[in-house]
Amino acid sequence: MGPHGFGRMKYDKNAQKPNITKAILLRIAKYFIPYWKQTTLVVLILLVTSVLGILPPIIIQHIVDTALPNKDLSLLIYLVLASLSTTIISELLGVWQNYLNAYVSQKIIYDMRNQMYLHLQQMPYQFYSNVKQGEVITRMTADISGVKAVFDSTIVSFANNLFILISTATTLLIVNWRLGILGLIIVPLFILPTRKMGNVRWNIAKQTQEKTSEQNHIIQETLNISGYLLMKLFTKEQREFKNFDEINVQATNLKIKESMAGRWFMMILSTFTSIGPMLIYLYGGYLFIHGQITVGAIISFVALLGRLYGPVGQLTNLYVNITSSIALFERIFEYFDMKLTIKDRDDATEMNVTHLDIEFNDVSFSYQKDKTALQNISFIAPSGTMTALVGPSGAGKTTITNLIPRLYDFTSGSIKIGGRDIREFTLESLRSHIGLVTQDSYLFNGTIKENLLYASPDASDEEITNACKAAYIHDFIMDLPNGYETIVGNRGIKLSGGEKQRISIARVLLKNPEIIILDEATSSLDTLSEFYIQSAIQGLLKNKTSIVIAHRLSTIMAADHIIVLKDGQIVEEGKNEELLMQNGLYKELYNKQFGRKAIASIE
Ligand SMILES: Nc1ncnc2c1ncn2[C@@H]1O[C@H](COP(=O)(O)OP(=O)(O)OP(=O)(O)O)[C@@H](O)[C@H]1O
C-alpha cells in the first residue's frame, strides 16, 4: 500500500459542509418550477402507495383471525384477491412514479447542461487559460448527473419515507396501542448509527468527488494529442503513470472504505431490525396468552414493523443527503456565478462602419495585477492597409491582436474601429468582421471540407475551391486520395504546419471578413512551401485592413507600416527603410532574423 494507503487514510472532519440557506434552496427550487405538475404527481403517488402498503398486513390479520378459524373459503379468496390487487396497483403506480422521477430529474439535468454549455461558451478567454483540464468535463457530466440522485435521495425519499412512517405508525397505534408503543420505542435506536454513518459517507463522497476530478484532469492532460506527445518525447510515461496510479490507489481505497462503512451499517441495522419482531413476539405472545390479542394481530404487527425501520433510517439520513445535494448544487452554481467579464453592453449595436481604420489610443493592459503586458500603446492601422507588428518574444504582439476581437478587454485607453469604440459593437458583429489566423491553426477532427465549411456553412463547392486556390492549397488537397473528404485527424495532426495554416487561411477567405489578424508561423519552411504560404497570405490580405505579427522578410517588406514593440511599449514605428536607417531595435532584430544578406540586397 502506498503512502496514501488504506490504513493511513483519515477523514477530514473539517471538510466544509455547505450552509443550507433559504437563498440556495429557492435557487434549487426554481429548477423544479417548470416540472411542478410532475413533481406534485410523484408526491401524490407516494401518498397513495404508502397507504396501499398498509393494507396487505391488515388483510393477513383478517385471514389468520377470521377466514382460517371460520374455514370461510370465499372470504379467504376475497381477502387474497384484495391483497393481490393492492400489491398490483401499488406496483403499477410505482412504475408510473419511476417514469415521472426520471422525467423530472432528466429534464432538470437537460436544462442545467444547456445552461452550463451556453454559460461556458460566454466565459472569457482567460477562463480557459486558467481552468484545469478535465474540470469543465467533470462539472458538465458527473456533477450535473448527480442531480438525479439529489431528486431521488431528497425530495422523493423524504416524501416517501415520511408518508410510510406516518401511515404505519398510526396503523400500529390504532390496531394495538400497547404493542404500537413498544414497536415505536425501538425506533430511536436506529437514529444513532444512521447519523454517524451519514457523516462518514458524506466525507467519503466528498473525497471521492475530488479524486474523480483529479483523475479526469490527469487523463485530459496526458491522453490528448499534445499532452501525449510531450509525455512521449520527454519519456515521462512512468512518472505520469505513477501520478495516475497514486490517485487511482486513493480512489480505490475510498471506494473500499465506502462499501465497508456501508457493510457495518447494514449489520447494525439488521441487528436492530431483528430485535423489534422478537420483542413483539415476546410481549404480543404474553398478551395473546392472556387473551388480549389475536395471532393475526401479532403477525400483522411484525409485518407493519418491518415497514417502519427503513423509513426511519432514511429520514435520519436526510440531513446528510440534503447537505451533499447542496454541495453538488453549489459546485454547479459556482460556475454559473462566474462573471461574464466580456459581454455586450446594453446599448451595443451592430458594427456598421464603412471605413475600417483600427485605432489604439493610449491602450494599457495587464493579464495579472502588478504586471503590465501593454503600456500606453497608440497607433493607427489605416483601412485597407497592412500593419506589421515586430518585436522580441514577450513584447506584447499577440496581446495587441487579442484585444481587437475582445478576447481580452484593455484596462485603459480606447480601441476604435471606424472611429467608434469597439465596446459599442455587439461581440458577434465585431468578431464577424474579423478573421484571425493563428500560428497553431486549430482544425477539428473531421474532413477538410467540414473544417472549411465551419467558416461559412452555406458555401458552394465552387466557393470552397476558389478559396483553396487563393490559399494555394487546392492542388495539394486534390492530390490526396480522398481530396476534400480527407480526415485531418485530431487538431489537424495529419497535415504539416504549413498545410494547416493554408487551410486555415482558406477558411478565413471563405468567411471573407474586412479585417484580418494574422500571426505568421515562425517555423522555417522550404522555399516552395514558403512561396505557397506567402502567396496565400497575399491573397488573404488583398484590400483588407490587416494586422500581422510578422516573422518573414517578405511580409515585413510588403507592410505599409511597421510597429516595433519591446516590453509592452512601442519603441519604433515607420516603414522598413526608415526603420533600418534609425539603427535601433528594428535593425538589430532585422539583422538577427534575416542576416546581413538581406540588408545588402535592399541597399
Ligand atoms: N494568458 C496570459 N496570462 C498571463 N500572462 C500572459 C498571458 N499571455 C501572455 N502573457 C504575458 O504577457 C506578455 C506579452 O505576451 P505576448 O504573448 O503578447 O508576447 P508576444 O510578443 O506575442 O510573444 P511571442 O512572439 O513569443 O509570441 C508576456 O510577458 C507574457 O508572459
Q: Residue 314: what pLDDT?
A: 77
Residues 153, 321 contacting (CB under 8 angstroms): yes
Nearest to 332 by CA among 30, 13, 12: 30
pLDDT for residue 246 is more than 90 = yes
303-307 contacts at long range (C-beta below 8 A, 24 or more positions apart): 303/56, 303/57, 303/60, 304/54, 304/57, 304/168, 304/171, 304/172, 304/175, 304/183, 305/172, 305/183, 305/276, 305/277, 305/280, 306/273, 306/277, 307/53, 307/54, 307/57, 307/164, 307/168
Summarize pLDDT for 515-538 with one digit per residue, the tens: 999 887 665 556 666 777 777 777
Measured from CB, residues less than 6 Å from any atom of ligand 1 are 129, 367-368, 373, 391, 393-399
Summarize pLDDT for 138-152 with one digit per residue, the tens: 888 878 888 888 888
The CATH H-level superfamily of 347-433+514-521+543-603 is P-loop containing nucleotide triphosphate hydrolases (3.40.50.300)
Summarize pLDDT for 49-99 with one digit per residue, the tens: 999 999 999 999 999 999 999 999 999 999 999 999 999 999 999 999 999
Does residue 217 or residue 84 have the better pLDDT? 84
Summarize pLDDT for 409-452 with one digit per residue, the tens: 998 999 999 999 999 999 999 999 999 888 777 888 888 899 89
Cell of residue 1, nine digits: 500500500
**Rounded Cα gap, residues 168 and 52, in angstroms:** 11
Mean pLDDT, rounded, for 387-396: 91
What are residue 377's DSSP bridge partners? 363
Ligand 1, atom 16: nearest CA belongs to which residue?
A: 396
Pocket test for ligand 1, best of 389, 397, 592 (most atoms within 8 A of CB): 397
Does residue 337 or residue 188 have the better pLDDT? 337
Does residue 110 or residue 20 have the better pLDDT? 110
Summarize pLDDT for 287-335 with one digit per residue, the tens: 999 988 899 989 988 888 888 877 877 777 777 778 778 888 888 898 8
Q: Residue 15: what pLDDT?
A: 46
Mean pLDDT, rounded, for 238-250: 92
Cell of residue 301, nine digits: 404487527
Q: Residue 190: what pLDDT?
A: 65
Mean pLDDT, rounded, for 546-556: 84
Ramachandran region, residue 521 (left: φ > 0; alpha: ψ -120 to 50; beta: rest)? beta
Indicate the average pLDDT of the chain: 84
Ligand 1, atom 4: nearest CA belongs to which residue?
A: 367
Q: Do domains 22-336 and 347-433+514-521+543-603 have the same CATH topology?
A: no
Indicate the domain borders of the chain: 22-336, 347-433+514-521+543-603
Residues 307, 67 contacting (CB under 8 angstroms): no
Q: Residue 549: what pLDDT?
A: 92
Q: Residue 571: what pLDDT?
A: 93
Q: Residue 10: what pLDDT?
A: 31
Does residue 270 or residue 8 have the better pLDDT? 270
- Distance in Å, CA 394 to ligand 1 centroid: 5
Q: Residue 9: what pLDDT?
A: 29
Contacts of residue 553, Cβ cutoff 8 Å, sequence gap at least 6: 593, 594, 598
Other CB atoms within a 10 A radius of the CB of residue 437 amount to 22
Pocket test for ligand 1, best of 367, 393, 570 (most atoms within 8 A of CB): 367
Amino acid at 268: I
Q: Residue 7: what pLDDT?
A: 25
Domain 22-336 architecture: Up-down Bundle (1.20)
Residues of the chain with pLDDT > 90, as a percent, come to 37
CA-only gyration radius of the chain, Å:
36
- Distance in Å, CA 399 to ligand 1 centroid: 6
- Distance in Å, CA 48 to ligand 1 centroid: 65
Summarize pLDDT for 364-386 with one digit per residue, the tens: 999 888 888 999 999 999 999 99
Nearest to 172 by CA among 160, 187, 159: 187
Atom number, ligand 1, closest to the C-alpha of residue 522: 25
Residues 4, 253 contacting (CB under 8 angstroms): yes
Q: Residue 14: what pLDDT?
A: 41
Does residue 494 or residue 478 have the better pLDDT? 478
Q: Residue 321: what pLDDT?
A: 74
Q: What does residue 421 show for φ and ψ, rounded to 5 degrees? A: -60, 135
Q: How many CA atoms lie within 13 A of 274 on its CB side?
A: 5
- Distance in Å, CA 568 to ligand 1 centroid: 9
Model confidence at 561, in pLDDT bands (50, 70, 90)?
A: very high
Q: Residue 20: what pLDDT?
A: 78
pLDDT for residue 388 is more than 90 = yes
User: Whose grid coordinates read 485530431?
Assistant: 490
Residues 419, 591 contacting (CB under 8 angstroms): no
What are residue 569's DSSP bridge partners? 566
Residues of the chain with pLDDT > 70, as a percent, come to 91
- Distance in Å, CA 24 to ligand 1 centroid: 40
